């Protein structure tokens, strides 16, 4: 059993598990932090960005000034943003049988895999994962495609040139594999390969492995996966949460008794408590609005935004913000808000029960009804008519490199009354802000990451007791910035096995048993014999039939009856040849009793010798030797078959037959 | 109606008892004319819903009351009421009737309390002779079949018997078979019902009441009760076990009381048999191998030394101390908690004021051999002792400081003053092991240590030199470990960091201690680092509401009490800088979605501006921030507690001229003014807290002549009263009366000081002549308000109104000219209306109140009488023995009815 690690990002994993004879890809996350090296794509022409000076080498050589621009001491690539794909060289991706998706954030690289590698398998994911994943991809494609960029920079990627660039461009890894965003056509094609599954549904893969999604509590439809054969169990934990937010709670019990537990997708901000961050978010939002400023929240169109809107729903009246407009701008805003209300079966109990009242599970429905929350596909059109300040705007993309957020950064960045509040933990806020410097607007960083923290992981591992834990190497040591925080790493016994990008791990896993079924009529014919209390044995003669990785013992074909008058079959046709079976013997021979028995039967002059392996009983008169060892007995007598048979029967009396 | 003539007959000699009893029966039966001419009935006779009479009956007034009646009125529980005597037989027969179950044993408890006061006030023997049903009750209980015995009734009877037998003559009267039957080996001790804890508890308490005299003591010795007590010490019920242990101590002390009085050096072997028996048992238990028995023995000794300070206790300690010291040789030391309690109890006893070397040695040994968690309480207790060898004090202080010294070492901080850490190095490794062994051990030890030091700090006997700098540094580093900002280099430090990160309990304890550390701080160099960590804690989004509250309190301590460098006049060099950073944080917390945080922030603001409202620096920073504006907005907060705190904060800010500047015309609230806003809250707020806060603020404003109030005080008071009088919350109404009181004090002068030693204030002459003032008060409808409050269904309001009207009556006494001028028909009409009000019909208006009418009404009212009646607790009717007895009987009657219904 092997694990091929194709991604180095612990929360955007992409691993391949070779288990039995199957090849299973676990998630295919797309590392979009590479986009931070690029200049933002402004929706409206930005004179500031257009007029940034080109970057030239120390010696004044300016051949890169078309590709690289300088802004407040940082250098950015002036081109369409590119993303860092999972490793494609480590294993032939066309051999992947299935892809299991954990949540909508971990499927963003799917079109690259399914459309460009010769992949012919099936992708499994839950319905909300697919629907919201589609929204995220649609939004991404839309953001990038609607701002066409004439030029495409590639010179800087040259290894010799990259070495000359300033950080962080100089240190960017695998730049040659960076790719531009996929198209909507590719997205549709990739999504068509997905087969929908429900929690706890058992999916057979080629009869040899069974995979099951379990609720992971992190997002709508998010799952962990159990991959098991009859005697082996691998758990794949990715992006799980024990907090009570909107999704169904995490199913921990089913993870018990795993041989291997692959653990990815822990919180990216282990020191930040989500509750405190939500409080911080609300306080800063209210402070800004009360001072007459605007609030910008760069966010994804699904996920934490539902929880934030719910908090604000409860908070705005108390903070006197009822008259402040909340805008949610995304090409998929409408679908996201509506989808969230229809996936009742994937929600936590509280929200599920609301559906029966009937009420919408999320309170943002009421915010929309009362006109407190308004949503628009983009800043063009209706939005510009309705736009009123001060206001709160939720919009993407959290990297600040594309999407409507770029426009608001340009618009509001100059006033210190305004605030940008970062809630998504995927991007470093300082790097995200770099191309907007100098910036007068206030910046608040309240990353809200509800995924498991290390205390919760340690409780989880104690609870589910896996034999081995496998995790990204980042989790086996404290974060570099807090090297003294020994509590911010996985602490378990035996210590976890760690992996890094482009590494292949042999999992410590021995294949011990296979399950074989016995046909009922064959089972009927068995005659078990109790050889010890509680243990019975029976001999089986059968044909082992193997098909689709399933093994069945079938009764042997009956020996052909010699048909009178018909042509006799040749011996070779009669397969297999069933001979009359000799009984099997078991037990041991007590030497003293055996000697007594010999004496009783008239043998005299018996001598017993001890040997290394047992005993030798010597019948001197008869010149016969009986060699008794642990697993064999030999009677050596010359030419006296009668004597040998007599002796054999005496020996057999001490043994059990079956 | 009952006969008062019979009221004080109970304690007459036997010979007189009989005729009086006959007379009582006659009186009860006949109901003579004299009965109806009785003065105001005693509270015990009042029906529950009967209003208190205010306008006195003229008949009563003419009659005058005797001293006995006065006493009776004041303390009705002290005598056996005839009505109670009448009810007692029925009550006793209900108790012993197995078919009747007493459902509510709180009645029995209250009745026992009553019997206790009765027996303490007079002769129990007479009581029993007068009420033979009580003795019958006790003997009936003994005669019941085992299955018929109710545990509650048995327990009640045992305790009652003990109470009666506390008096020697009564003890002898009951002794015979009765007491032996109840408390002897053949009594309940051997019954099946003994398995009920109530019965065992009743048995012990009965014995404890009984053991007050030598006779009782002998009885205990002879009846085998002491042996039973030994085994009850290990009872499964903690209450029973504790009571048994206390009774043993009581018996020991009682038996030694007379014997050892004259000869302090009396040897143990010459002690009374009973005492010897108990001491022998304790000795045997101390040598036992089971921890439970040792604990029992130690508990008995702890109580003994805590309660008895006679010389014999010294002899006892001399005899037992080797055994106690021997316990320290065991590994692990058994019953450490009890051992600590015992040693401290002995050390605190005045008998051991002289240096007792063995005691101090034992304590010193214990301090060095137990774990830090176990020695903490002993170290604290030792340091609190008045007389204690200096060496031991140093050792104890070292023990207390150990965990903090370890933290400083592990995090490689400056070692503090020389010598201190060296002293505490002993056992340091053990402490580090404890700290690092587990999260719970570490958190427990730190919380305990911090709490102990916090307790020790303000005591006059706290150790000197007090290592202030070291402690502040240790607490700061602990707080840094908790918020994850400490970056220790050692491996121990890293593990501590991992253990303490995000630990709210330790954070709270550390902040609490840090707050008290301002006391006696002289080094102002510490201030910046303290301010820094407090700011970080306040800024951190991870701080929980409770941690924030503690942090606010600590900030207040450090801002208000922190030392300033010499030559620095007002706030010190760090404070203005700190305030500039503090206010943005405060602003954020005022907007917190968590109401507890908004509330604590407002409370903090109130305190801060109360103390510093006059400081120019503070005013400048505050007014430059949005804090006043935000506080104003919180007057409309959805959470009532927050609204209340916002009202208080705004009231305070406004008093100091610090409310939001009125330069923001966009805010309608500002235009309306704070008075308008607060009046709005008072009139419409659905919750009581904000309305109470408003009335308190208004009272303060009036008291301090707030500018908004002084403009038109009469209008202000009248408007507030109009709103308050309709309020449903009694505290608001009471506060309204307080407001009136302040107003009257300002118009009519202070009330006379009730304390004869109080400094007499110079008499304020009212600014305008009295008749005019009274007229104004009438126009403001103050009398209307006060009269309405006088009949308020909530007693504190009525009491306050009564005091207020008395004050007015006294003040208006010189204004006698007005008395005659009153129109008698108006007076009669007002009195009639007031009588209606008294019975709850307050719908009718009082009519136009003229000063003359008011004065006449005031004079005709028995305000003093009302005042004394209102002073009684509100449940005095329900608590009266008569009511309790009736309750028991009524319950039974009800049960009988239910039984009848079944057929």
B143-190 per-position pLDDT tens digit: 877 777 788 888 888 898 898 888 888 888 887 778 878 888 777 877
Distance from CA of B507 to the nearest CA of A (A): 16
pLDDT by residue (tens digit) across B199-221? 899 989 898 888 888 888 888 87
* Shared domain check, A220 and A262: yes
CATH of the domain at A86: 3.60.15.10
Distance from CA of A425 to the nearest CA of B (A): 16
More confident residue, B663 or A170: A170
> φ and ψ at A531, to 5 degrees?
-100, -25
Nearest chain A residue to B633, by CA: A320
Question: Is A556 domain-assigned?
Answer: no
Stated pTM of the model: 0.77
pLDDT by residue (tens digit) across A30-42? 999 999 999 999 9
B152 in Cβ contact with B101 (< 8 Å): no
Nearest chain A residue to B502, by CA: A271
A98-100 and A22-26 beta bridge pairing: parallel
Name the token pair of A280: 């911080």
Please report the pLDDT score of residue B824 as a whole number. 65
A23 SS3 class? strand
More confident residue, B721 or B756: B721
B675 SS3 class? helix
* Shared domain check, A90 and A48: yes
DSSP notation for A466-497:
-SEEEEEGGGGS--GGGTT-TTSS---SSPPE
Residue B263 has pLDDT above 60, yes or no: no
In the predicted model, what is the mean pLDDT of residues A291-300?
A: 94
B484 CB neighbours in chain A (<8 A) are: 271, 482, 485
- Say what angle helices B291-307 and B238-259 make with each other, to 10 degrees: 50
* Shared domain check, A466 and A322: no
* Residue among A312, A484, A488, A490 with most chain B CBs within 10 A, to mutate: A484
State the ipTM, two decimals: 0.75
CB-neighbour burial class of residue A496 (10 A; exposed 0-12, middle 13-18, buried 19+) = buried
Long-range CB pairs of B759-763 (<8 Å, 24+ gap) are: none
In the predicted model, what is the mean pLDDT of residues A414-429?
A: 95
pLDDT bin (cut points 50, 70, 90) of residue B611 is confident
* Inter-chain touch A290–B626, beta carbons under 8 Å: yes
Distance from CA of A348 to the nearest CA of B (A): 23
pLDDT by residue (tens digit) across B417-455? 444 555 545 555 566 666 777 888 889 999 999 999 999
* Inter-chain touch A272–B587, beta carbons under 8 Å: no
In the predicted model, what is the mean pLDDT of residues B851-878?
A: 72
Question: Is A216 domain-assigned?
Answer: yes
The rounded distance, in Å, linking the Cα atoms of B759 and B751 is 13
Please report the pLDDT score of residue B579 as a whole number. 87
The rounded distance, in Å, linking the Cα atoms of B701 and B709 is 7
* Inter-chain touch A282–B592, beta carbons under 8 Å: yes
CATH of the domain at A639: 3.30.310
Runs of H (alpha helix) within B725-850: 730-748, 770-779, 782-790, 795-812, 817-821, 824-838
pLDDT bin (cut points 50, 70, 90) of residue B139 is confident
Nearest chain B residue to A272, by CA: B542
A421 CB neighbours in chain B (<8 A) are: none
Q: What is the mean pLDDT of chain B?
A: 76
pLDDT bin (cut points 50, 70, 90) of residue B58 is very low
Final residue of a domain: which of A394, A422, A445?
A: A445
A118 in Cβ contact with A94 (< 8 Å): yes
* Shared domain check, A210 and A115: yes
- Give the residue numbers spanning the domain of A313: 274-445
* Inter-chain touch B542–A273, beta carbons under 8 Å: yes
Nearest chain B residue to A312, by CA: B593
A318 CB neighbours in chain B (<8 A) are: 593, 595, 637-639
Question: Is A391 domain-assigned?
Answer: yes
* Shared domain check, A121 and A103: yes
Question: Is A568 domain-assigned?
Answer: no
Distance from CA of A445 to the nearest CA of B (A): 11
Highest mean predicted confidence (pLDDT) among A566-570, B33-37, B101-105, B556-560: B556-560
pLDDT bin (cut points 50, 70, 90) of residue B77 is very low
Distance from CA of B48 to the nearest CA of A (A): 45
* Inter-chain touch B498–A290, beta carbons under 8 Å: no
A488 CB neighbours in chain B (<8 A) are: 498
B498 CB neighbours in chain A (<8 A) are: 485-488
Final residue of a domain: which of A467, A482, A506?
A: A506
A286 CB neighbours in chain B (<8 A) are: 591
Nearest to B727 by CA among B699, B690, B701: B690
* Shared domain check, A423 and A280: yes
- B742 secondary structure, DSSP code: H
- Buried b / exposed e along B867-895 (16+ C-beta atoms within 10 A): eebbeeeeeebebbbbbbbbbbeebbeee
pLDDT by residue (tens digit) across B94-130? 777 777 766 667 778 888 888 888 888 888 888 888 8
Nearest chain A residue to B481, by CA: A485
- Count of all residues that appear for chain A in the document: 658
A220 in Cβ contact with A343 (< 8 Å): yes
CA atoms within 13 A on the CB side of A529: 11
Nearest chain B residue to A311, by CA: B593
Residue B507 has pLDDT above 80, yes or no: yes
B201 in Cβ contact with B243 (< 8 Å): yes
- Per the listing, tokens 């019948």 go with A619
Please report the pLDDT score of residue B261 as a whole number. 56
* Inter-chain touch A282–B593, beta carbons under 8 Å: yes
How many helices and strands (H and E) does chain A possess?
A: 17, 35
* Shared domain check, A376 and A498: no
The percent of residues above 90 in pLDDT, for chain B, comes to 12
* Inter-chain touch B499–A290, beta carbons under 8 Å: no
Query: Domains in chain A: how many in total?
Result: 3
A282 CB neighbours in chain B (<8 A) are: 591-593
B495 CB neighbours in chain A (<8 A) are: 486
pLDDT by residue (tens digit) across B450-493? 999 999 888 887 777 788 888 888 899 999 999 888 877 777 88
* Residue among B541, B595, B599, B638 with most chain A CBs within 10 A, to mutate: B541
Residue B756's contacts (CB-CB under 8 Å, 6 or more residues apart) are none
Give one word for B840, left, alpha or beta, with left for phi > 0 and alpha for psi -120 to 50. Answer: left
- Which among A271, A279, A291 has the least Cβ separation from residue B594? A279
Final residue of a domain: which of A487, A506, A525?
A: A506
Please report the pLDDT score of residue A580 as a whole number. 59
Q: What is the mean pLDDT of chain A?
A: 89
- B465 secondary structure, DSSP code: S
Q: Which of A85-94, A431-440, B404-413 has the lowest mean pLDDT?
A: B404-413
In the predicted model, what is the mean pLDDT of residues B724-739?
A: 88
* Inter-chain touch A277–B592, beta carbons under 8 Å: no
Question: Is A384 domain-assigned?
Answer: yes
B534 in Cβ contact with B524 (< 8 Å): no
In the predicted model, what is the mean pLDDT of residues A248-256?
A: 94
Please report the pLDDT score of residue B322 as a whole number. 82
Please report the pLDDT score of residue B69 as a whole number. 42
Give one word for B772, left, alpha or beta, with left for phi > 0 and alpha for psi -120 to 50. Answer: alpha
Nearest chain B residue to A482, by CA: B487
The rounded distance, in Å, linking the Cα atoms of A621 and B56 is 140
The rounded distance, in Å, linking the Cα atoms of A394 and A299 is 6
Residue A377 has pLDDT above 90, yes or no: yes
* Inter-chain touch A284–B541, beta carbons under 8 Å: no
Chain A residues touching chain B at CB-CB below 8 Å: 271-273, 276-280, 282-284, 286-287, 290-291, 311, 314-315, 317-320, 446, 482, 484-488
Nearest chain A residue to B629, by CA: A290
The rounded distance, in Å, linking the Cα atoms of B534 and B507 is 11
Residue B75 has pLDDT above 50, yes or no: no
Distance from CA of B358 to the nearest CA of A (A): 47
The rounded distance, in Å, linking the Cα atoms of B300 and B277 is 14
Nearest to B663 by CA among B628, B635, B614: B628
Nearest chain A residue to B588, by CA: A283
* Inter-chain touch A290–B540, beta carbons under 8 Å: no
* Inter-chain touch A283–B542, beta carbons under 8 Å: no
B589 CB neighbours in chain A (<8 A) are: 283
Question: Is A118 domain-assigned?
Answer: yes
* Shared domain check, A486 and A371: no
* Shared domain check, A468 and A431: no
Nearest chain A residue to B664, by CA: A291
Chain B residues touching chain A at CB-CB below 8 Å: 484, 486-489, 493-495, 497-499, 501-502, 540-544, 587-589, 591-595, 597, 626, 629-630, 633, 636-639
Question: Is A545 domain-assigned?
Answer: no
Nearest chain A residue to B497, by CA: A485
The percent of residues above 70 in pLDDT, for chain B, comes to 75
Please report the pLDDT score of residue B142 as a whole number. 80
A78 in Cβ contact with A40 (< 8 Å): no
Distance (Å) of CA A167 to CA A56, A61, A162: 14, 18, 10
Distance from CA of B595 to the nearest CA of A (A): 9
* Residue among A275, A283, A457 with most chain B CBs within 10 A, to mutate: A283
* Shared domain check, A189 and A247: yes
* Shared domain check, A294 and A243: no
* Residue A375 β-bridge partners: A328
* Inter-chain touch B541–A273, beta carbons under 8 Å: yes
* Inter-chain touch A272–B541, beta carbons under 8 Å: yes
Please report the pLDDT score of residue A366 as a whole number. 92
Going across the sheet that includes A633-637, the strands are A606-610, A614-619, A624-629, A633-637
The rounded distance, in Å, linking the Cα atoms of B692 and B678 is 11
* Inter-chain touch B541–A280, beta carbons under 8 Å: yes
Question: Is A519 domain-assigned?
Answer: no
* Inter-chain touch B592–A283, beta carbons under 8 Å: yes
* Shared domain check, A255 and A179: yes
């Amino acid at each position: 059993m092997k694990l091929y690690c194709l991604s180095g990002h612990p929360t955007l994993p992409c691993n391949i598990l070779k288990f039995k004879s199957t090849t299973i890809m676990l998630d295919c996350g797309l590392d979009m932090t590479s986009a931070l090296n690029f200049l933002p794509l402004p929706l409206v022409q930005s004179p500031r960005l257009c007029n940034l000076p080109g970057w030239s080498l120390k010696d004044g050589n300016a051949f890169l000034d078309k590709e690289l621009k300088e802004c407040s001491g940082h250098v950015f690539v002036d081109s369409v943003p590119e993303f860092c794909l999972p490793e494609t060289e480590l294993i032939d991706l066309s051999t992947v049988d299935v892809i299991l998706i954990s949540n909508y954030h971990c499927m963003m690289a799917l079109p690259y895999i399914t459309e460009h590698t010769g992949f012919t398998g099936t992708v499994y994911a839950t319905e909300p994962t697919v629907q919201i994943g589609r929204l995220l991809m649609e939004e991404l494609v839309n953001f990038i495609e609607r701002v066409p960029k004439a030029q495409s920079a590639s010179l800087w990627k040259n290894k010799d040139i990259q070495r000359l660039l300033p950080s962080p461009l100089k240190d960017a890894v695998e730049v040659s594999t960076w790719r531009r965003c996929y198209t909507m056509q590719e997205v549709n094609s990739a999504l068509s390969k997905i087969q929908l599954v429900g929690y706890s549904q058992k999916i057979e893969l080629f009869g040899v492995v069974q995979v099951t999604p379990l609720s992971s509590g992190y997002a709508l439809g998010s799952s962990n996966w159990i991959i098991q054969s009859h005697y082996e169990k691998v758990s794949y934990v990715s992006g799980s949460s024990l907090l009570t937010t909107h999704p169904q709670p995490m199913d921990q019990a089913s993870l018990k008794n795993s041989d291997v537990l692959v653990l990815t997708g822990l919180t990216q901000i282990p020191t930040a408590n989500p509750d405190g961050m939500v409080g911080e978010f609300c306080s800063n939002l209210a402070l800004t609005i009360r001072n007459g400023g605007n609030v910008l929240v760069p966010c994804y169109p699904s996920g934490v935004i539902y929880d934030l809107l719910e908090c604000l729903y409860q908070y705005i009246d108390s903070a006197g913000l009822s008259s402040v407009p909340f805008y949610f701008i995304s090409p998929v805003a409408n679908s996201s808000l509506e989808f969230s209300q229809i996936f009742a079966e994937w929600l936590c109990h509280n929200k599920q029960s609301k559906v029966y009242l009937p009420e919408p599970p999320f309170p943002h429905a009421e915010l929309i009804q009362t006109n407190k929350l308004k949503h628009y596909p983009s800043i063009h059109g209706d939005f510009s008519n309705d736009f009123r300040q001060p206001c709160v705007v939720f919009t993407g993309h959290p990297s600040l490199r594309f999407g409507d957020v770029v426009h608001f950064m340009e618009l509001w960045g100059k006033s210190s009354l305004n605030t940008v509040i970062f809630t998504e933990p995927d991007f470093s806020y300082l790097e995200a802000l770099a191309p907007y410097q100098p910036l007068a607007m206030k910046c608040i960083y309240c990353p809200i990451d509800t995924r498991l923290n290390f205390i919760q992981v340690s409780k989880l591992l104690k609870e589910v007791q896996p034999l081995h834990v496998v995790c990204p190497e980042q989790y086996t040591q404290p974060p570099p910035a807090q090297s003294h925080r020994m509590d911010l790493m996985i602490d378990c016994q035996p210590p976890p096995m760690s992996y890094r990008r482009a590494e292949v791990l042999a999992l410590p896993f021995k294949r011990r048993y296979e399950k074989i079924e016995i046909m009922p009529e064959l089972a009927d014919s068995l005659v078990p014999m109790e050889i010890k209390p509680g243990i019975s044995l029976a001999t089986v003669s059968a044909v082992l039939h193997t098909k689709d990785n399933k093994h069945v013992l079938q009764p042997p074909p009956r020996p052909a009856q010699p048909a009178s008058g018909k042509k006799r079959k040749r011996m070779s046709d009669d397969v297999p040849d069933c001979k009359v079976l000799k009984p099997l013997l078991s037990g041991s021979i007590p030497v003293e009793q055996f000697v007594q028995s010999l004496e009783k039967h008239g043998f005299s002059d018996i001598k017993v010798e001890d040997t290394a392996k047992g005993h030798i009983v010597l019948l001197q008169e008869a010149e016969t030797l009986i060699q008794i060892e642990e697993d064999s007995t030999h009677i050596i007598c010359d030419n006296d078959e009668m004597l040998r048979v007599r002796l054999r029967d005496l020996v057999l009396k001490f043994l059990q037959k079956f | 109606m009952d006969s008062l003539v019979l009221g004080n007959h109970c304690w007459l000699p036997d010979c007189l008892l009989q005729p009086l009893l006959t007379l009582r029966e006659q009186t009860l039966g006949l109901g003579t004319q004299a009965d109806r001419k009785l003065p105001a009935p005693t509270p015990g006779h009042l029906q529950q819903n009967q209003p208190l009479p205010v306008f006195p009956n003229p008949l009563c007034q003419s009659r005058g009351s005797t001293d006995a009646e006065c006493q009776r009125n004041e303390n009705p529980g002290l005598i056996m009421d005839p009505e109670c005597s009448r009810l007692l037989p029925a009550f006793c027969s209900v108790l012993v009737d197995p078919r009747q179950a007493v459902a509510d044993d709180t009645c029995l408890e209250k009745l026992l309390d009553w019997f206790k006061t009765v027996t303490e006030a007079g002769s129990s023997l007479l009581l029993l002779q007068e009420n033979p049903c009580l003795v019958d009750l006790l003997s009936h209980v003994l005669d019941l079949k085992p299955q018929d015995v109710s545990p509650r009734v048995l327990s009640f009877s045992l305790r009652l018997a003990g109470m009666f037998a506390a008096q020697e003559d009564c003890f002898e009267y009951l002794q015979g078979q009765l007491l032996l039957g109840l408390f002897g080996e053949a009594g309940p001790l051997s019954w099946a019902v003994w398995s009920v804890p109530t019965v065992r508890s009743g048995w012990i308490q009965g014995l404890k009441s009984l053991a007050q005299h030598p006779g009782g003591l002998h009885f205990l010795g002879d009846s085998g009760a002491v042996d039973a007590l030994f085994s009850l010490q290990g009872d499964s019920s903690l209450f029973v076990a504790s009571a048994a242990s206390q009774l043993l101590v009581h018996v020991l002390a009682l038996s030694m009381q007379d014997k050892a009085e004259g000869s302090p050096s009396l040897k143990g072997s010459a002690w009374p048999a009973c005492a010897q028996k108990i001491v022998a048992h304790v000795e045997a238990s101390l040598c036992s191998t089971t921890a439970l028995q040792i604990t029992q023995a130690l508990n008995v000794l702890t109580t003994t030394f805590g309660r008895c300070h006679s010389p014999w206790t010294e002899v006892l300690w001399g005899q037992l101390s080797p055994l106690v010291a021997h316990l320290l040789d065991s590994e692990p030391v058994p019953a450490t908690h009890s051992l600590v309690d015992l040693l401290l109890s002995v050390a605190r006893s005045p008998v051991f004021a002289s240096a007792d070397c063995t005691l101090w040695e034992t304590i010193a040994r214990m301090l060095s051999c137990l774990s830090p968690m176990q020695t903490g309480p002993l170290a604290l207790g030792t340091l609190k002792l008045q007389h204690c060898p200096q060496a031991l004090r140093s050792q104890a202080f070292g023990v207390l400081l150990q965990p903090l010294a370890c933290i400083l070492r592990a995090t490689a901080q400056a070692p503090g003053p020389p010598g201190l850490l060296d002293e505490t190095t002993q056992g340091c490794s053990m402490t580090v092991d404890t700290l690092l062994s587990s999260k719970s051990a570490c958190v427990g030890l730190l919380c305990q240590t911090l709490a102990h030091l916090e307790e020790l700090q303000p005591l006059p006997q706290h150790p000197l030199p007090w290592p202030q700098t070291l402690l502040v540094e240790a607490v700061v580093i602990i707080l840094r470990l908790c918020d994850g900002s400490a970056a220790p280099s050692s491996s121990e430090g890293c593990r501590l960091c991992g253990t303490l990160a995000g630990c709210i309990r330790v954070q709270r304890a550390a902040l609490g201690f840090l707050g008290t550390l301002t006391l006696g701080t002289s080094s102002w160099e510490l201030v910046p680092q303290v301010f820094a960590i407090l700011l970080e804690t306040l800024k951190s989004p991870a701080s929980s509401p409770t941690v924030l509250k503690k942090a606010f309190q600590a900030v207040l301590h450090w801002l208000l009490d922190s030392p300033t460098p010499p030559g620095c006049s007002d706030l010190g060099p760090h404070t203005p800088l700190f305030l500039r950073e503090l206010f943005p944080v405060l602003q954020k917390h005022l907007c917190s979605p968590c109401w507890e945080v908004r509330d604590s922030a407002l409370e903090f603001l109130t305190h801060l501006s109360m103390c510093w409202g006059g400081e120019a620096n503070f005013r400048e920073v505050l007014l430059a921030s949005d804090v006043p504006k935000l506080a104003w907005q919180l007057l409309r907060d959805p959470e009532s507690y927050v609204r209340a705190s916002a009202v208080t904060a705004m009231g305070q800010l406004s008093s100091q001229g610090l409310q939001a500047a009125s330069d923001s015309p966009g805010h309608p609230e500002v235009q309306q003014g704070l008075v308008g806003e607060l009046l709005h809250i008072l009139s419409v707020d659905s919750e009581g807290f904000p309305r109470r806060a408003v009335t308190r603020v208004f009272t303060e404003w009036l008291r301090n002549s707030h500018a908004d109030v002084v403009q038109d005080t009469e209008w202000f008071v009248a408007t507030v009263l109009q709103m308050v009088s309709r309020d449903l919350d009694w505290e608001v109404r009471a506060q309204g009366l307080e407001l009136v009181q302040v107003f009257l004090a300002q118009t009519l002068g202070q009330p006379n000081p009730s304390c004869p030693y109080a400094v007499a204030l110079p008499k304020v002459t009212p600014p305008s002549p009295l008749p005019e003032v009274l007229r104004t008060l009438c126009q403001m409808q103050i009398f209307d308000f006060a009269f309405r409050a006088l009949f308020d269904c909530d007693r504190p309001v009525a009491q306050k109104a009564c005091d207020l009207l008395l004050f007015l009556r006294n003040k208006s006494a010189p204004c006698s000219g007005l008395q005659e001028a009153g129109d008698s028909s108006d007076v009669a009409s007002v009195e009639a209306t007031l009588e209606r009000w008294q019975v709850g019909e307050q719908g009718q208006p009082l009519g136009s109140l003229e000063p003359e009418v008011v004065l006449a009404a005031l004079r005709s009212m028995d305000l003093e009488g009302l005042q004394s009646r209102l002073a009684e607790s509100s449940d005095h009717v329900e608590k009266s023995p008569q009511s309790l007895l009736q309750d028991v009987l009524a319950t039974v009657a009800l049960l009988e009815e239910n039984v009848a219904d079944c057929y």
